[in-house]
Amino acid sequence: MRVLDLSLLFPGPYCGAILAELGAEVIKVERPGGGDWVRAVPPLDPETGEGLIFRTLNRGKKSLTLNLKAEEGRSILLRLAEGADVLLESFRPGVMERLGLGYDALARANEGLIYCSLTGYGSAGPYRARAGHDLNFIGLAGLLDLSGPAGGPPSIPGAQMADVTGALWAAIGILGALLTREQTGVGQRVEASLLGSSLACLRLDVTRLLAGEPVARGTGDLTGGRVSYNLYQTADGAYMSLAALEHEFWQAFCRAVGRMDLADQGMAPAVAGEPAYDALCALFRTRTRQEWVEALAGVEACCEPVLALGEALASAPVQALGMLTGDLPGSPVRLSPGVRGPGRLTAPSLGHHTAAILAELGYDEGDVARLRTAGIV
């Protein structure tokens, strides 16, 4: 499967990386002279000067430089699209159409093409051409307002929720469209937005709200409103995550810590002054995090330590996943032996595969030299 990845920054390239890790041939199409801006974002590899963020988002891909503002550059992309399975782009709505490279134009050249647009706010509506970043999208979706403790200010999540979920939904949409093409022989346009992906994270909360239930920061069953599903500080200032939501897990926890008097209090409000909550806060402060880990070892109570990222990477359960390849995180998906995965663990240098890809279209060394001189590639 060949994918033309015209996207920049984080969400689109992450989507392309997911497809590459699943075995697709992904060609990253970049502007000559500079390429994706993330190439220069630190931290940098001290030996190559390559941005490590760029590497983790683009490893396993090929790089083709192409000036899409030039007529010949657009012509080359059109020819590549004729033989491609997927085109992925993350420009603002209307940009590709103004270049003559919109879905309708490319579908006429290749009716089997899957054309994926990953936008900020969607291709319609008043915000379609508006600039934005992850924090804006989760703010407008209502996700940010629900993040943080009850009575406190909203808290910025520890991960880029809109960017990551947007990449995932785009990849899912592409794979779904490819499956449909297997049945119909016809491609289609796929669109995912970072605003919509943020809202999709709130499916449970939206359902509750539309059913007439109150939804507020830090008060839900899964957002810190219940004693059985909460964070508790330990004697050394660290934290434990208690998620004994089901009856059997809560009973097991109460039994293990010798507090069966709380056995019927699992859904008590996690509010200061509430006896069950105050009792648990005091209980967890009697031991260090490691002491709690040891005390609850073997107990099915859904109680685990809150680890710093460095601790998490070194932990036995994370190590067992085999996701760390060299100095980069990899895919959580494992394919059966013999199924092709990414062939390269490094990201391509800018334009590294340009000559080889153009050779497939019939361009010789002299042609490529002319295109370079003209600023086309």
CA nearest 139: which of 116, 155, 159, 118? Answer: 155
Q: Are residues 240 and 195 in the same domain?
A: no
| Secondary structure of residue 203 in the 3-state scheme | helix
| Digit-coded pLDDT (tens) for 315-346 | 999 999 988 877 778 889 888 876 655 555 68
- Determine the residue type at 24: A
Look at residue 339 in the predicted model and tell me its pLDDT. Answer: 60
Per-residue confidence (pLDDT) for residue 124, from 0 to 100: 93
pLDDT at 344: 58
Residues 146, 293 share a domain? no
Query: Are residues 98 and 52 located together in one domain of the fold?
Result: yes
Judge if 194 and 65 occupy the same domain: yes
Q: What is the per-residue pLDDT across 5-29, written as a single tens digit (0 to 9) for each?
A: 999 999 999 999 999 999 999 999 9
pLDDT at position 48 is 85
Q: Are residues 265 and 310 in the same domain?
A: yes
Mean pLDDT value across residues 210-234: 96
Residue 333 domain-assigned (yes or no): no
Q: Are 117 and 89 in contact (CB under 8 A)?
A: yes
> Are residues 283 and 134 part of one domain?
no
**Preceding amide of 154 cis, omega within 30:** no
CA-to-CA distance for 170 and 114, rounded, in angstroms?
Answer: 11
In the prediction, which pLDDT does 331 show? 86
Q: Do 96 and 162 fall into the same domain?
A: yes
Res. 150: pLDDT tops 90 = yes
Instruction: Dump pLDDT digits (tens) for 261-298.
Output: 999 999 999 999 999 999 999 999 999 999 999 999 99
| Residue 104 annotated in active site | no
What pLDDT shows up at residue 330? 82
Tally of domains within the chain: 2
Last residue of a domain, one of 275, 296, 316: 316
Judge if 237 and 192 occupy the same domain.
no
Residue 328 resides in a domain: no
Burial readout 241-275 (b: 16 or more C-beta within 10 A, e: otherwise): ebbbeeeebbbbbbebbeeeebeebbbbebeeeee
**Residue 143 is assigned to a structural domain of this protein:** yes
33 has a pLDDT exceeding 80: yes
| CATH code of 249's domain | 3.30.1540.10
pLDDT value of residue 343? 54
Do 284 and 195 share a structural domain?
no
**pLDDT, averaged across the chain:** 95
The predicted structure's pLDDT at residue 341: 58
The edge-to-edge listing of strands for the beta sheet with 114-119 is 62-65, 25-30, 2-5, 86-89, 114-119, 188-193
Q: How far apart are CA 54 and CA 147, in angstroms?
A: 29
184-193: burial string, b at 16+ Cβ within 10 Å, e else:
eeebbbbbbb
Asked if residue 220 belongs to a domain, the reply is: no
pLDDT at residue 221 is higher than 90: yes
- How many CB atoms within 10 Å of residue 144? 22
* Per-residue model confidence (pLDDT) at position 336: 82
The stretch 41-47 carries a mean pLDDT of 92
Task: Confirm whether 247 is domain-assigned.
Answer: yes
Q: Are residues 256 and 122 in the same domain?
A: no
Tell me whether residue 216 is in a domain.
no
Question: Rounded to whole angstroms, how far apart are CA atoms 377 and 374?
Answer: 8
CATH number at residue 362: 3.40.50.10540
* Assigned domain for 80 exists: yes
- Residues 49-108: tens digit of each pLDDT: 889 999 999 999 999 999 999 999 999 999 999 999 999 999 999 999 999 999 999 999
Same domain for 185 and 264?
no
Task: Decide if 79 contacts 360 (C-beta within 8 A).
Answer: no
Domain with 153, as residue range(s), is 2-201+347-373
Q: Are residues 36 and 169 in the same domain?
A: yes
Residue of 104, 163, 278, 364 marked catalytic = 163
Residue 173 clears pLDDT 60, i.e. is over it? yes
**Does residue 306 belong to any structural domain of this protein?**
yes
Per-residue pLDDT tens for 223-264?
Answer: 999 999 999 999 999 999 999 999 999 999 999 999 999 999
pLDDT at res. 329: 85
